[in-house]
Amino acid sequence: EIVLTQSPGTLSLSPGERATLSCRASQSVSSGYSAWYQQKPGQAPRLLIYGTSTRATGIPDRFSGSGSGTDFTLNISRLEPEDFAVYYCQQYGSSRYTFGQGTKLEIK
């Protein structure tokens, strides 16, 4: 089973700043299987990025994804108040999907 480790666990930033969220896999994965989701309290996860770097429909261009092999990154260029939430990375391998434990992006 692929284990995903997200860092940092919590990120404290101010609106307008840039956020960089990391996701490290325990083994190399295909870039096609990498995705990122945003979850706000009491809501379902929302797809942000798939195939490592493709934004889902309706996702603002301040969100961008990159990476390969075992290291993947989600960047948010200029934080808006609505961006403060928990973010999860996702990978696929060994016949199952796995998710990271999440990075909580909080207002500083």
Partner 1 sequence: EVQLVQSGAEVKKPGESLKISCKGSGYNFAAYWIAWLRQMPGKGPEYMGIIYPGDSDTRYSPSFQGQVTMSADKSISTAYLQWSSLKTSDTAIYYCARHLTISGAWFFDFWGRGTPVTVSS
Helices and strands (H and E) in the chain: how many = 0, 11
- Residue 98 binds partner 1, judged by CB under 8 A: yes
Say how far apart CA 108 and CA 89 lie, in whole Å: 23
By CB under 8 A, the count of residues binding partner 1 is 26
Token pair of 91, please?
């990978």
**Inter-residue contact 87 to 21 (CB < 8 Å):** yes
Site for partner 1 in 14-73 (CB under 8 A): 30, 32-33, 35, 37, 43-47, 50-52, 54, 56
- Give the amino acid at 12: S
Least distance (Å) between residue 48 CB and partner 1: 10
Interacting residue ranges for partner 1, rule: CB under 8 A: 30, 32-33, 35, 37, 43-47, 50-52, 54, 56, 88, 90, 92, 95-102
